[in-house]
Amino acid sequence: MTARTSYRLPLPGGRVLELGERTVVMGILNITPDSFSDGGTHLDVDRAVAAGLRMVAEGADILDIGGESTRPGAESVGADEELRRVLPVVEKLASLTPALLSIDTYKAVVGREAAARGASIINDISGLLYDPDLAEVAAETGTALILMHTRGRSHEMYELAVYDDVVTEVRAELETAVARATSAGVAREQIVLDPGFGFAKRAGHSYSLLARLPELASLGLPLLSGPSRKSFLKEPLGERLPAEREWGTAAAVAASVFAGAHIVRVHNVAAMADVVRVAERIRAAGDFSPRQGPG
């Protein structure tokens, strides 16, 4: 197991997210008809809000709200439609729960409008490759910014999944994404990094990144791990529908905790919060105390 550095992530309104003492649970709330795991489940605003509140009750510290599926091969959604899907949910949840709200988008206009309605984190699956103006939104609003590693758009990412050493190359490309953010005025202490399991990566690449996650910690920023129900879990499990990959997800979540991830992003909050609690107890028994980082 790996020691985990502590960070203090500044958020709008003077709030701070403490990272490092324990692994934070981020619940996935997709407001889409075509997400790979739960598309169509939460398209109704009231149903989506109820699902979000249930996730908080089950142990979610953060709700990650997305209005466009970013699975490989997914069709892009216009900003107007994405705004129509997510803004009522963000606004209503912000009025009903103190849990942190994250907007899962790569579009600057969606990030800005969601931040104005209560989102305090922007989760960009493109690492600022798709819409560089999103960095300015984070800089101006003070939202935290999650930068995920990927290559290309969803329809071409597997063609670009070619690496000599996936961990070394992902580390370098994440470092470039951080430079894009800071050059636009984002404070380094606002940033979280995500290796992007399954995005422009074959199954073996995702397993290498998970096993060697501590090497990405050398970038000096908090890490998010998002293995939930991903297709790379099928390699040892066999062909299964996303919702049937929960035990595989549990193993990957536990491995993420042991490897020092600060945040895990999951679909089944109740089950994975239990996994995190037990994995954290094992860490505590091994005295893997958090180290103090900058910020």
Q: Which amino acids are annotated catalytic?
A: 230, 265
Q: What burial letters (b/e) apply to 169-188, b meaning 16+ CB within 10 Å? A: ebbebbeebbebbeebebee
> Residue 235: helix, strand or coil by DSSP?
helix
Backbone angles phi, psi at 72, to 5 degrees: -55, 130
Q: Does an H or E element contain 147, and which?
A: strand 144-148
Order the strands of the 16-19 sheet from edge to edge: 16-19, 5-10, 291-292
> Residue 184: helix, strand or coil by DSSP?
coil
Task: Tell me how far apart the alpha carbons of residues 171 and 173 are, in angstroms, rounded to a whole number.
Answer: 6
> Residue 9: helix, strand or coil by DSSP?
strand
Q: How many CB atoms lie within 10 A of CB 258?
A: 20
